[in-house]
Amino acid sequence: MRAEPIAGRYERVEEIGSGGMGRVWRGYDGVLDREVAIKLIHPAAVHTSEQAEELARRFRREARVTARIQHHGVPQVYDAVLDRPYDRLYLVMEYVRGTALRAFVDPRQPLPVTWAAAIVAQICTVLSHAHAIPVVHRDLKPENVLVTADGAVKLLDFGIAAILRTDVTRFTAAGSALGTHHYMPPEQIQNARITPQSDLYALGCVLHELLAGRPVFAGGSDFELWHQHVTEPPPPLRTLRADVPAAIEELVLDLLVKTPEDRPADAYGVYERLLPFLPLPGTAPPAAEAAPDAVPDPTLVYRRPNAPRRRPEPAAPTPRGAMSTAHPAAILRTGVREAIKAAVAQSDELLDDERFAQAAEVLDRVIGPASAALGAESPRVLALRSRRAAILVIGGDFRRALPEFDALAAAYARTAGPTGEDAVECLRQAAHCRAELGQATTALRQFRQVLRHVRVASGDASPTALDLRRSIGMLLLSEGKAAEAAAELQPLHDDLCVVYGPGHEETREVAEALARLRFTGGG
């Protein structure tokens, strides 16, 4: 018997994919009369309430990240419900009819160079849009790439994608080796910072596999694969396949360099290096080209660019959230305290819906008039500014939040002293922002300054002190300072075992980071 439609409109027709987190169904939208893809959290993946919360966070992240990438190479998000328990969340997307890139990999018949170049060049265009947000995919592999009948490439599954940050937050914590080991860059294995160059390493693995018909490394165990990716040079393509152009071999080797900063600067640069190997518009495939006939031709998008489709795809409407349009003058007329109360209530509702930019904007509109009426450093105004800065952090807008927390720390220091609770908390938040923005040296100095204040006030094993120590250790780890990181993380692990127990999420996270340090010889 067919399941009840989701939200009264989305019917599940057949399951087309299942992974560690979710199940994907080909579905039907009874309202708009079209095929859709429906993603749900897999009940079998949930064993504890902590797992349920984590999977729900990851599911929400995938939905929002995918929706933010405005590019035809990423399936369009049509609808989502993200504010319910994990077993009632759903994501409705464009249904893509295509062939998984895995079907293109054949050791008996490696792809023509033009085909491999056409596929990887299209992936580059998607990555360039994602990295501009900035979002790192973190799980680029043939299973997450589809090629449609007209040769267009679609990049799927942003389920473990990360908004670019320095791996200090729990969601993208160092020590969490998310990804697929055959395509995992050395820095991901070593707990270091994930950057767009991490995706480029995986892209190099994919390009090598398309041309060689086999992975770069084929270790028999996870440990062996880690070791190969971290320490062993990749085999040059021309030793495996003599007809690969030297420039392509050089590009693959550049993508597979162990240190991220020595790889190509960005996906655009990789695309530029592939241009000489892409077919020109209007040209036919060479008669001698031994192309597979059971999969779509990815060169069609270059040979016949912008060719008409038999049926245009429907445009998805862009929903707009209801926003208050009150003019600042109206705020003064109705009374500033009432306006503050209303703005906070509206902001809280938007925050509950995880509409962070709108929640901050509501407070933006009242802070100016409130400052004029009550004073820029009055308790009410400082509380409003603190709330807005915190929302910016929750929404990942660290660049805007940092100067606000710096200013708030100074304001609280003037009104209540530099060691007051509010001033110290703003310093702590400013340090987090700096860590997220890559200002590691300043962030470490500021974290340690805050930790000194916290130790005096509440000791070394308070929740705040433990969190600060974790931030310091993980930041050292992401900066490649293995010995210093181990010196911070080992005593922290001992204290976490006492305070929270060895099975607690934070304890396990630090234990895994230490295990990886030992694997890489730093612990």
**In the predicted structure, residue 435 carries a pLDDT above the cut 60:** yes
Both tokens assigned to 299: 């060169």
Q: How far apart are CA 121 and CA 153, in angstroms?
A: 9
So which residues are the catalytic ones? 139
Name the residue with higher pLDDT: 29 or 33: 29
Q: What is the mean pLDDT of the chain?
A: 86
**What is the per-residue DSSP string for 253-268?**
HHHT-SSGGGS-S-HH
**In the predicted structure, residue 16 carries a pLDDT above the cut 90:** no
Place of tokens 């901050």: 360
Q: How far apart are CA 28 and CA 514, in angstroms?
A: 47
Which has the closest alpha carbon to 160: 57, 16, 43, 86? 57
**In the predicted structure, residue 169 carries a pLDDT above the cut 60:** no
pTM equals 0.61
Q: Which residues are annotated as a binding site for ATP?
A: 39
Given CATH 3.30.565.60, say whether it is the number of domain 98-281.
Answer: no
Rounded mean pLDDT, 356-381: 89
The mean-pLDDT minimum among 181-185, 207-211, 250-254, 351-355 falls in: 351-355
Strand ranges inside 63-132, DSSP E: 77-81, 90-94, 98-100
Say what the pLDDT of residue 56 is. 87
Q: How far apart are CA 335 and CA 396, in angstroms?
A: 32
- Domains 10-94 and 98-281 belong to one CATH topology: no
Residues 6+ apart with CB under 8 A from 54: none
Cβ(134)–Cβ(166) below 8 Å: no
Domain range summary for the chain, segments of one domain joined by +: 10-94, 98-281, 459-523
Query: Which of the four pLDDT bands, split at 50, 70 and 90, describes residue 334?
Result: low
Rounded mean pLDDT, 355-382: 89
Name the residue with higher pLDDT: 198 or 32: 198
pLDDT in tens, 390-428: 999 998 889 999 999 999 999 999 988 888 889 999 999
Name the residue with higher pLDDT: 164 or 133: 133
Say what the pLDDT of residue 160 is. 61
Q: How far apart are CA 159 and CA 93, in angstroms?
A: 14
Distance of CA 192 to the CA centre of its chain: 15
Which has the closest alpha carbon to 295: 489, 8, 98? 98
Query: Which of the four pLDDT bands, split at 50, 70 and 90, describes residue 522?
Result: low
Say what the pLDDT of residue 332 is. 53
Q: CA torsion sign, 83 to 317 to 146 to 238?
A: negative
**What is the per-residue DSSP string for 4-48?**
PPBTTTEEEEEEEEE-SSEEEEEEEETTTTEEEEEEEE-GGG--S
- Cα distance between the two ends of the chain: 56
- What is the domain class of 10-94 according to CATH? alpha beta
CA angle, corner 50, sides to 8 and 79, nearest 5? 25
Say what the pLDDT of residue 320 is. 35
> How many residues in total does the chain contain?
523
Rounded mean pLDDT, 188-205: 91
Say what the pLDDT of residue 307 is. 76
Sheet containing 10-18: which strands, arranged edge to edge?
A: 10-18, 22-29, 34-41, 90-94, 77-81
Query: Which of the four pLDDT bands, split at 50, 70 and 90, describes residue 71?
Result: very high
Distances (CA, A) of 349 to 346, 396, 495: 5, 18, 38
Q: How far apart are CA 279 and CA 353, in angstroms?
A: 47
pLDDT in tens, 258-304: 999 999 999 999 999 999 999 999 898 887 776 787 899 999 999 98
**In the predicted structure, residue 323 carries a pLDDT above the cut 50:** no
Say what the pLDDT of residue 325 is. 46
Rounded mean pLDDT, 217-222: 85
Residue 63 CB neighbours (<10 A) = 23
Which has the closest alpha carbon to 22: 5, 38, 4? 38
Query: Which of the four pLDDT bands, split at 50, 70 and 90, describes residue 159?
Result: low
Rounded mean pLDDT, 214-223: 88
Q: What is the share, in percent, of the chain residues with pLDDT greater than 90?
A: 53
- Of 10-24, 333-347, 496-510, give the range with the top mean pLDDT: 496-510
Say what the pLDDT of residue 179 is. 55
Distances (CA, A) of 488 to 476, 485, 514: 9, 5, 10
Cβ(138)–Cβ(198) below 8 Å: yes
Both tokens assigned to 193: 């910072």
Q: Where are the alpha helices (DSSP H) in 91-221?
A: 113-131, 186-189, 196-212
Query: Which of the four pLDDT bands, split at 50, 70 and 90, describes residue 207?
Result: very high
Rounded mean pLDDT, 449-455: 91
Q: How many helices (H) and strands (E) does the chain have?
A: 18, 10
**In the predicted structure, residue 333 carries a pLDDT above the cut 60:** no
